[in-house]
Amino acid sequence: MPDHAASSVSDREIAHFDQLAATWWDPKGPMKPLHDMNPMRTEWVNAHLRRLEGLRGGTLSLLDIGCGAGLASEAFARMGHDVLGLDASPEGIRAAEAHLAANPLPENSGSLTYRKGSAEELVREGQGFDVISALEVIEHVNDPQEFLALLRSLTRPGGLIAVSTLNRTLRSLAVAKIGAEYIARLLPVGTHDWKKFIKPEELHRMGRAVGLRMIDVAGMSYRPMHWRITRDTSINYITMFVRD
């Protein structure tokens, strides 16, 4: 079993998101951009998962890593998948569990559990999943390529890994960093470090280096009042990898 360094945990990032946990589920609060984006990104992922579900012949196990307070985790469970939401933020996991307790899943949903911890812990335990989602996470980790290697270790052969992040362009600096944090105040100041944004070709190269094959990439673009999938990857984008 690979001996991974602690690439998926940044103490500074955990402390930052701990401070946001209490307002994570407020659709008009500091996490409003994630609330707005969430249906689009989870539906895009789910379209890929339905094809895998047909091949596997049953409910898929899904690890939502860096789940925060569970926006995507709950959505995936409601889509019928068996979900483990994992985050190193204790306050985020407490907020996720509290929201789930107050808003139980419908009977036709998959299962949903939460765990405070890291991907490295799951690797040491020998765990494996059909699908991993890492949405708006990789730009916050210590070592992105090692993080992808961790995800591969946790994915069963033929399984899928969804990764969404931000492109490192002048446009993303102007819009996603300066505009969103300092001008429009859509995000708390310090949410992102533009230097840690990753170009799609860099992400493709990192994945290939650790044994992952990128099978799809799409832009996520904001238009007044809604997000949509586009070909424009200059700011936000989402990718799908397969472990052969």
Decide if 125 contacts 56 (C-beta within 8 A).
Answer: no
Strand partners of residue 163: 134, 239
Is 170 annotated as belonging to a binding site?
Answer: no
Q: Is 166 labelled a binding residue?
A: no
Sheet with strand 155-166: strands edge to edge: 112-116, 82-87, 61-65, 129-135, 155-166, 236-242, 213-223, 226-230
Which amino acid is it at 187? L
Q: Which parts of 126-232 fold into alpha helices (H)? A: 144-153, 170-172, 200-209
Q: Any idea of the CA torsion for 30, 113, 147, 217, to the nearest 10 degrees?
A: -70
The answer to whether 219 is annotated as binding is no
- Beta-bridged to residue 241, according to DSSP, are 161, 214
CA angle 74, 165, 98 (to 5 degrees): 25
Question: In degrees rounded to 5, what are phi and psi of residue 199?
Answer: -70, 145
87 annotated among ligand-binding-site residues: yes
Residue stretches of the annotated binding site for S-adenosyl-L-methionine: 41, 66, 87, 135
Residue stretches of the annotated binding site: 41, 66, 87, 135
